[in-house]
Structure 1
Amino acid sequence: MFVDIITKAICGKGKKLSNSLHQVGTQHPISNLLGCWILNHRFKANRDNQSVIVQGTYEIHLWYAYEKDTHTEIAKTSVQYEDQLTVLIQNENLISDELDIHVKFLHQPNCIDTTFKQLGNQVLVKTEHEWLAIIIGETQLKVEAKDSNET
């Protein structure tokens, strides 16, 4: 005897590594870069046909020295981003168009490089983040079931 089971299953998945270049302004000409951090990361994910779109924001905090390394300050700037990832639906047995999207960041946004020109007030900051998208949908399975009296 066979029975039909309706369950949720992963029907699509993909990951994306993104790099971005941002410009951070400072109040004083920089003599030395002391550190760079990414803080307050927030995001939301939506599905558009065969794509998952992640929209988010984060802050870049740049610690620098000025006046021949006698003073320090932190420059902050907010960044908005949008990433798109094509995810192919791999399960032909879906019984509903309603799909759940789960996004997980494998690597939170991180500063990977900084560049500044001597006597300048601008710093180029290269950031990187990686995320995974999983699409879950309802599917139907046919499984063999044995009666408890059968051996």
Structure 2
Amino acid sequence: MTFLEKDYREIITKAVCGKGRKFTQASHTIAPSHRPSSILGCWVINHLYNAKKKSDDEVEVNGSYDINIWYSYNDNTKTEVVTERVTYSDIIPLSVMDDNCINDEYDVIAKVIQQPNCLECKIASKGQKITVEIEREFVVQVIGETKISVKVNPKWDKDDEDDEGWDFKLTDDELSDVEADFLNEKD
């Protein structure tokens, strides 16, 4: 088999040039306005994030979420919800990175695999604060311009397309099956 340059074309396209994934557990300490007696519930809402390429082999995801803790105080006679906005920055290493990208302009797509979620919420050892364990997970893709080579058929002739069995002419039998007055019928 002989490689002839005229039999190949180079196509410039956008493609996934890098991929990475990271699971993170974080601990946050929240100070409610009253000394907590017990934790009644904890949930995480309002997750926002954005991603950008940080270096040749890393993506940085910056985000925030609200932690809401429902707790009782005053010897379990009253309740209150404390809300705290938490920010984070995750550095995600790229496990796959193609060095054949044409330029340094990249788009980064970050997808949440595990939304920030409360694993554990407990009263801290001294009893004044609440400790919350949170998990989250991201997958990132780096998209850049790259060049691919494709082999073309040197024997291809644009007139050959008509000869590949794509005959759209109506036969007399097909024409006789057409109902001419179907538009006049009413249901």
Give the aligned length: 151
Q: For residues 67 and 98 of structure 1, do their structure 2 counterparts lie closer, same or farther at Cα, with a shift above 3 Å needed?
A: same
Alignment partner of 1:74: what SS? Answer: strand
Q: Name the residue aligned to 1:9.
A: 15
**TM-score (structure 1 length as normaliser):** 0.90
* 2:25 aligns with one of 16, 19, 25: 19
Q: Name the residue aligned to 2:149.
A: 142
Distance (Å, rounded) in 2 between the aligned partners of 1:79 and 1:12? 29
**TM-score (structure 2 length as normaliser):** 0.74
Listed one character per residue, the Cα deviations across residues 36-82 of structure 1 (whole Å, up to 9, x for unaligned) are 01111111212122211111111110001122322211011111111
| Structure 1: gaps of 5 or more residues | none
- Identify the structure with bigger relative contact order (alpha carbons < 8 Å, sequence gap 6+): 1
Code of the residue aligned with 2:23 in structure 1: it is L
Alpha-carbon RMSD across the aligned residues, in angstroms, is 2.0
The equivalences for 1:40-55 within 5 A come to 40-49=46-55, 50-55=57-62
Q: Name the residue aligned to 1:123.
A: 130
Work out whether residues 124 and 131 of structure 2, in 8 Å CA contact, stay in contact via their aligned partners in 1.
no
Q: Name the residue aligned to 1:39.
A: 45
Structure holding more helix per residue = 2
Distance (Å, rounded) in 1 between the aligned partners of 2:65 and 2:97? 33
* Structure 1 runs, 4 residues or longer, greater than 3 Å off: 148-151
Q: For residues 6 and 42 of structure 1, do their structure 2 counterparts lie closer, same or farther at Cα, with a shift above 3 Å needed?
A: same
Distance (Å, rounded) in 2 between the aligned partners of 1:68 and 1:125? 21
